[in-house]
Amino acid sequence: MGSHALNPIENSEIDISHYTNPKSNIRHPKSKTIFELIMVNICLVEDEQKVAAFICKGLEENGYTAKAAPNAAAARSLLQTAAFDLLILDVMLPDTNGIELCRQIRNTDNKTPILMLSALDQVQNKVSGLKAGADDYLVKPFHFSELLARIEALLRRHNGSGEEEHILIFDDLKLDTWSNTAERAGAQITLTAKEFTLLELFMRHPNKVLSREYIAEQVWKIDFDTGTNFIDVYVNYLRNKIEKGFKNKLIHTAIGMGYILKSDK
């Protein structure tokens, strides 16, 4: 028996017809991917209608969902009714200024990434904005590509490697990356180091298809050789440990694409 003899047991299969490298949480223009299922919502607070319309249109063309609020009051009520992944606040607003609005938002314990916009190229404005809890600052006028780059960076920082949670929870699975313990429905699961790293990778990217290449690179720090099936073998080791005795499957095969951590319920 050669190394190809182990066949992955595809205990759960779903058809994912689009795939994007999960390293980037960002959708690219016009490319429909699995991430279309997870829309990135952006709220723009800007009173200049033309500017707001231009930015919203550009964001939508780049696969984001954008809502605009013309003043701080409208922004506050919008934030109460919808969840956003990112906020863009203009400093000059007719009611409360953007810096103060940013401070108010942070005071409500809202940790959504905030990008401040200002026509005033003043260091003081930037410092005040960042002190008020903004994550980044962009001076008007700007190239739209720069706005997109800042947005992507903020989303990546927020969703990924920046401040990593050490307790990860998905469905009834719980992983503690400090004590290196894993449990499902309160029962301890014993994992090898690689299985643990693999599960952590899935739990940091729930509901996203992870390609074998990506898994190999992230867990084994190697380039994936398509001639081997060790990823499938390890995924099945992991499945046996976390799914045995449970009706709800968590790691699903995305045929021809890779694997996805997804609740079966």
Instruction: Pick the stretch among 41-49, 129-137, 152-160, 246-254 that binds Ca ion (CB under 5 A).
Output: 41-49
The reply to whether 139 sits near Ca ion by the rule CB under 5 A is no
Instruction: Pick the stretch among 52-60, 85-93, 147-155, 199-207 that binds Ca ion (CB under 5 A).
Output: 85-93
Closest to Ca ion by CB, 69 or 198: 69
Closest to Ca ion by CB, 47 or 217: 47
In the complex, minimum distance from the CB of residue 104 to Ca ion, in angstroms, rounded to a whole number:
17
Closest to Ca ion by CB, 48 or 213: 48
Closest to Ca ion by CB, 48 or 172: 48
Count of residues of this chain found to bind Ca ion when the rule CB under 5 A is applied:
4
The reply to whether 92 sits near Ca ion by the rule CB under 5 A is yes
The reply to whether 47 sits near Ca ion by the rule CB under 5 A is yes
In the complex, minimum distance from the CB of residue 248 to Ca ion, in angstroms, rounded to a whole number:
49
Distance CA(221)–CA(66), nearest Å, equals 37
Between strands 86-90 and 114-118, the pairing is: parallel
The reply to whether 136 sits near Ca ion by the rule CB under 5 A is no
In the complex, minimum distance from the CB of residue 96 to Ca ion, in angstroms, rounded to a whole number:
12
Q: Which residues pair with 137 in a beta bridge?
A: 116
Instruction: Pick the stretch among 90-98, 162-170, 204-212, 223-231 that binds Ca ion (CB under 5 A).
Output: 90-98
In the complex, minimum distance from the CB of residue 91 to Ca ion, in angstroms, rounded to a whole number:
7
Phi and psi, residue 166, nearest 5°: -100, -15
Cα of 52 vs its chain's centroid, Å: 25
Among 35, 44, 90, 129, binds Ca ion (CB under 5 A): 90
Between strands 251-254 and 13-14, the pairing is: parallel
Residues that bind Ca ion (CB under 5 A): 47-48, 90, 92
